[in-house]
Structure 1
Amino acid sequence: MRPIELPEELAGVAFTSDRARALGVPSKALRTSRLEHPTRGVWAQHPVGDDLRERARAAHLAMCGDAAFSHVTGARLLVLPLPPRALQQRRLDVCTRTDVGQRRRDGWVGRRGLETRQVVVVDGLRVVDLVDTWIDLAALTVGRHPTMTRVDLVVVGDEVLNRLLCFANAAQLTPRRKPYLDAALVAAAYREIDAAIARRIRPRGKRNLLWARERIRPGVRSPKETEARLVVVEAGLPEPLINHDITAPDGSGWLGEGDLVWRARDGWVVVEYQGAHHADRRQASADELRQRILEDNGCAVFPMWAEDLDPGARQRAFLARVAAALTRQGGPTPPQVE
């Protein structure tokens, strides 16, 4: 192997054999050089590292116009919140039309059915769009070694729903500060998701997909908020309001905003998920002041920690306290939590 002098246009970037030949570099010179060879027909002066976008850019050069990144690769390029198990995947998901056939290359997972999916361009890369990528992820919840759970699918679905709302809100003449409170925008976003599901014929993981579709909600701001909401709802507690404004009982003013909120006859019941940043001293001080203000105005406030998300005695005790507060405050009637 020997060094090769490349035209300025090819320096520092991945390029195809055809591009090199067009610039006067013979194919034999490429094969006998010290260039990196990330995939068939693609070359680079320097190694393509572990960065997903860098690997995807190199692979994209070898993809035809009838292909797009999908599934885990698509979700990562769209910056959707995936669990660690899915993030460990190294191979790139490449989806093509059914009549073209799967792309088979080292480091690729061939997928088919692009004709039933919408495609967007992200940083110059063809990617299956938000909603269709979410539907594709349902396939990862089934099989012998699933890499996602149904809860993970709801986490991603909440993010997809909220992005649809943000896009629609930004297109309005008078955007709202909280688009998830706009009933028309929310209804339109749900319709878009349902239409995408209806376009599919027996998608893999359909039962889990429909389970998740019934549980995605607008307004959730983090994966842990989704998990907290599912813990209380799946335990049978009434559906909470999400990131809702809390006002004084006498209507005198705004008291704050709660992660999960129930409006009760004698005040509000509030569950606040406490992420890692809440352990900071200054944040903990601010949290305590906020909690005192809410409690002084008749609210029952329950901080929820990561440990409360895990099934067990601690979670059952937490849910029992929230259920008792709902009963005491005259809120929506909860079931008996055992």
Structure 2
Amino acid sequence: MARRSPLPPYLSGASFSVADHAFHGASRNRLVAADMQRPFTAVRSVGLDLADVAERCRAYEPLLRPGEAFSHLTAAELFGVPTPSRSHALHLLAPPGATRARGRGVVGHEASVGAPIVLHRDLPVVAPAHVWCQLASALALDDLIAVGDAIVTGRRRGVVRAPALASLRDLRSAVDAWGSRRGARALASALPRVRVGAESRRETHTRLVLVDAGLPEPIPNPPIRLANGEVRHPDLAYVQWRIAFEYLGDRHRDDRSRWQGDIRRRREFERSGWRVIDVTADDLGPARLEFLASVRGLLATIGRS
């Protein structure tokens, strides 16, 4: 068996064009060896985690042309925005007048007008508010609203919340600039329903299910001071009636420590005079009517005004 020639140390964690022999210095046979990654046509990489979106984007960098930026679902994933599905193919936006990107593993888009671009994770990415407009024609309305919620809500770590990706004003400005392009009607419907505070896609869906059924709109993640003086943030709450909604996904059921934490959290709320309504995926789908009836019943019981 032929012995592979060692690669230069600087190639570890790098991607490069096959044609850039001055950089990689590898022979044609070496470029097709099993330890070489071939993420895109005419590109090789070494030691990248191609399951990670940022690493795939870095693998594509040798093919990036001036003015191009990662966009649509790829940009949403880079920003950590929740969407119902992920795209392994990279979405790229070409500047006005340039041809869209083509090739294996790439979805190219042509810009009719210039899009704002930011540097995020050392990569050129379409700005978050403009990404929201790009996704309008690809997402259902409730998911479009969930993406909007995520963009205007900074991630919370304990009592500290990081800056949001964009503000509601930024979203409004982006929608105005988007004009009558594809997805404009969906944006017009979604924008008034975007709220600051939701920390997951399902929290947004729960809020929308309640409001669409004619029930009062709950507040996402309000700070609640418990009887012991500590502050907790229920997923959603009717603060005036001391009702908290807690969404329980499959991870809550399968992770023992998370399940135990859910129990302790519920008891803390109840000791402080709060009623807790657990919400599951079924409550937002096939069991929606029963879920809504239980909420209406509870509101009737406490005699809300």
For this structure pair, what is the TM-score category when the shorter chain's length is used for normalisation?
A: 0.7 to 0.9
**Where does structure 1 lack aligned partners over 5 or more consecutive residues?**
142-148, 167-175, 333-338
Note the alpha carbon deviations across 1:130-184, whole angstroms, 9 max, x for none.
Answer: 211122111213xxxxxxx222212211110113x98xxxxxxxxx95689xxxx
1:39 counterpart SS class = coil
Q: What is the identity, as a one-letter code, of the residue corresponding to 1:34?
A: V
Match for 1:137 among 121, 135, 140?
135
Q: What is the identity, as a one-letter code, of the residue corresponding to 1:305?
A: T
Note the alpha carbon deviations across 1:246-275, whole angstroms, 9 max, x for none.
Answer: 469xx99778543322244xx433333234
8 Å CA contact retained: 1:70, 1:93? yes
Query: Structure 2 CA distance, aligned partners of 1:278 and 1:58?
Result: 35
1:103 is the counterpart of 2:120: no
Query: Structure 1 CA distance, aligned partners of 2:213 and 2:132?
Result: 25
Equivalent residue number for residue 239 of structure 1: 217
Match for 2:178 among 200, 204, 209?
200
Equivalent residue number for residue 242 of structure 2: 268
Match for 2:152 among 153, 161, 181?
161
Q: What is the identity, as a one-letter code, of the residue corresponding to 2:243?
A: V
8 Å CA contact retained: 1:155, 1:223? yes
> Cα gap change, 1:289/1:300 in structure 2, threshold over 3 Å: closer, same or farther?
closer
Count how many residue pairs are aligned between Structure 1 and Structure 2: 295
1:116 is the counterpart of 2:114: yes
Equivalent residue number for residue 276 of structure 2: 301
**Where does structure 2 lack aligned partners over 5 or more consecutive residues?**
none
8 Å CA contact retained: 2:16, 2:24? no
User: What percentage of aligned pairs have identical amino acids?
Assistant: 28
Equivalent residue number for residue 70 of structure 1: 71
8 Å CA contact retained: 2:178, 2:184? no
TM-score (norm: length of structure 1): 0.73
Query: Structure 2 CA distance, aligned partners of 1:162 and 1:323?
Result: 29
Q: What is the identity, as a one-letter code, of the residue corresponding to 2:180?
A: R
8 Å CA contact retained: 1:277, 1:283? no
Note the alpha carbon deviations across 1:66-94, whole angstroms, 9 max, x for none.
Answer: 101111111122222121xx31x332111
Match for 1:316 among 272, 277, 289?
289
Match for 2:234 among 258, 261, 266?
258
8 Å CA contact retained: 1:16, 1:43? yes
Note the alpha carbon deviations across 1:59-116, whole angstroms, 9 max, x for none.
Answer: 1211112101111111122222121xx31x3321111112112122222111011853
Q: Over aligned residue pairs, what C-alpha RMSD do you find?
A: 3.6
Q: What is the identity, as a one-letter code, of the residue corresponding to 1:63?
A: L
Query: Structure 1 CA distance, aligned partners of 2:12 and 2:225?
Result: 61
Query: Structure 1 CA distance, aligned partners of 2:141 and 2:149?
Result: 12
Equivalent residue number for residue 82 of structure 2: 81
8 Å CA contact retained: 1:70, 1:133? yes
Max Rg structure: 1
Query: Structure 1 CA distance, aligned partners of 2:32 and 2:225?
Result: 68
8 Å CA contact retained: 2:203, 2:220? no
Offset, 1:10? 3.7
Equivalent residue number for residue 289 of structure 1: 267
